[in-house]
Amino acid sequence: MKKTTAAAFFGTLIVCYIFWLLITGQIVSIFTGDASWQILVAGGIVSIIVSLFAARFFIHKKAFHLYNPIRFFLLLFYCIIIFGWELIKANVSMAIRAFGSTKNLKPGFVKIPTKLKSDYALAMLSNSITLTPGTITMDVVEQDGENYLYVHCIDAEKEDMEKAGKDIKGAMEPWIRRIWE
Amino acid sequence: MSEFIYFAICFAALALCLIYRLIKGPSGADRVVSADAMDTLVDMALILFALYTGRSIFLDIALVTAILGFIGSVLISRYLEGKL
Amino acid sequence: MRIVIDILIVLSILFALAGVVGIIRMPDAYTRMQSSTNVSTFGVLGVLIAGILYSIIYLGDVSMAIKLAVLIVFYLITSPIAGHAIARAAYRSKTPKTPQTIVDKYGEDLEDE
């Protein structure tokens, strides 16, 4: 089990407290001026307790990486524009496949290479791949210093590893590298 | 707006259709998949009901339902993997 | 504005219908999982975005809109985690694949270990 560092603790604490403010609706009351201090203090205590126990699972290094505003806006841009477009394409093609004939599907488990190194970037890439309908990440392995993803793909016609990788990852990989590395 | 309640009924009917896969599904993984999708659809019906009544208390229930569905499906898949 | 909200919800019902039909019709557990992603992305996003528009414009309740936005973030984070937990569990518990499967690199590499 890894140790909880102070930076990891504060990074988690800030996220927890923002989540509390959003979910109790206090963030609106602060601007209109009728926030109740009991709720704010209770949220602080709860988030301190939660982040004491949970920080070591969330953050291992570079705790304040995403608190940089440029990276945060890059993340928002990626989530809304780049990833949104991939999501629309994949959703429409998957919906057509669901109503069409299921006899000529060609599913398969393919292995694709990736150049990303850091853990957060790998997690974000595999989550993006899983979230687009038609592809699910099964596993991430490291072989000879390179990282590989095993992906179950509903249309695995391409035998070649590099081509299938280009097809699945699309425009997502360079943007994720820009955000995390 | 009163049409929200009809949309909510549509989502609930879709969730009912999935009971077929939940009962028949040949393996455990099929059942987990359909239960997860059912949870999502019921959640959407709940959100539409919250919009229909205009009371945000139902949104809290929707959030709790979403969290419980997530924990449930992860837990069952850990069990199927044999790590529990 | 009302018509935009209705169109968003109807679109999301159509995508959820496609997902449900896919879950019922597809041949094996893995392809069913792909269809269930359809339910948990566009089936969710349409309703939630329509809800944000409705609660800001017609109800005038900003805290409700913020709660709906938190629900969007929550769904976008948790549904892929549940998805690949289920996929790995299905593979490790030897759920049968459909005979249409053309390549299986994962199985070959698991046998090597």
pTM of the prediction? 0.88
Contact check, Cβ <8 Å, B1/C23: no
Q: Which tens digits make up the pLDDT trace of B39-53? A: 999 999 999 999 899
Q: Is the pLDDT score of C109 beyond 60?
A: yes
Q: What is the pLDDT of residue A2?
A: 65
Q: Which tens digits make up the pLDDT trace of A157-181? A: 766 767 777 777 777 888 888 887 7
Q: What is the pLDDT of residue A46?
A: 92
Per-residue pLDDT, averaged over B53-58, amounts to: 86
Q: What is the pLDDT of residue C48?
A: 92
Distance (Å, whole) CA B80 – CA B63:
26
Mean confidence (pLDDT) of chain A: 83
Per-residue pLDDT, averaged over B29-45, amounts to: 90
Q: Which tens digits make up the pLDDT trace of A33-57? A: 777 888 889 999 999 999 888 888 8
Which of C39, C56, C95 to probe the B interface (max B CBs under 10 A)?
C39
- Select the residue of C29, C59, C93 nearest B81 (Cβ to Cβ): C93
Q: Which tens digits make up the pLDDT trace of A99-126? A: 888 777 888 888 888 888 888 888 888 8
Per-residue pLDDT, averaged over C88-101, amounts to: 83
User: Minimal Cα–Cα distance from A18 to chain C, Å?
Assistant: 11
Any chains having at least 3 CB pairs less than 8 A from chain A are C
C13 touches chain A (CB under 8 A): no
Distance (Å, whole) CA A64 – CA A51:
15
All residues of chain B having their beta carbon less than 8 Å from the beta carbon of residue C24 are 17-18, 20-21
DSSP A51-99: HHHHHHHH-SS-TTGGGSHHHHHHHHHIIIIIHHHHHHHHHHHHHHHHH
Cα angle: A116, vertex A117, A122; to 5 degrees: 65
* C-alpha to C-alpha distances, A113 to A86, A159, A174, B17, C83, nearest whole angstrom: 20, 13, 14, 39, 21
Per-residue pLDDT, averaged over A145-166, amounts to: 77
- Give start and end residues of each alpha helix (H) in chain B: 3-17, 19-24, 28-53, 57-81
Domain extents for chain A? 6-63, 68-180
ipTM above 0.85, yes or no: yes
Q: What is the pLDDT of residue C25?
A: 87
Which two structure tokens, joined as six digits, stand for A113?
């290479």
Domain extents for chain C? 2-112
Which two structure tokens, joined as six digits, stand for A82?
């780049």
Q: What is the pLDDT of residue A26?
A: 82
Q: Is the pLDDT score of C94 beyond 90?
A: no
Q: What is the pLDDT of residue A158?
A: 62
All residues of chain A having their beta carbon less than 8 Å from the beta carbon of residue C22 are 94, 97-98
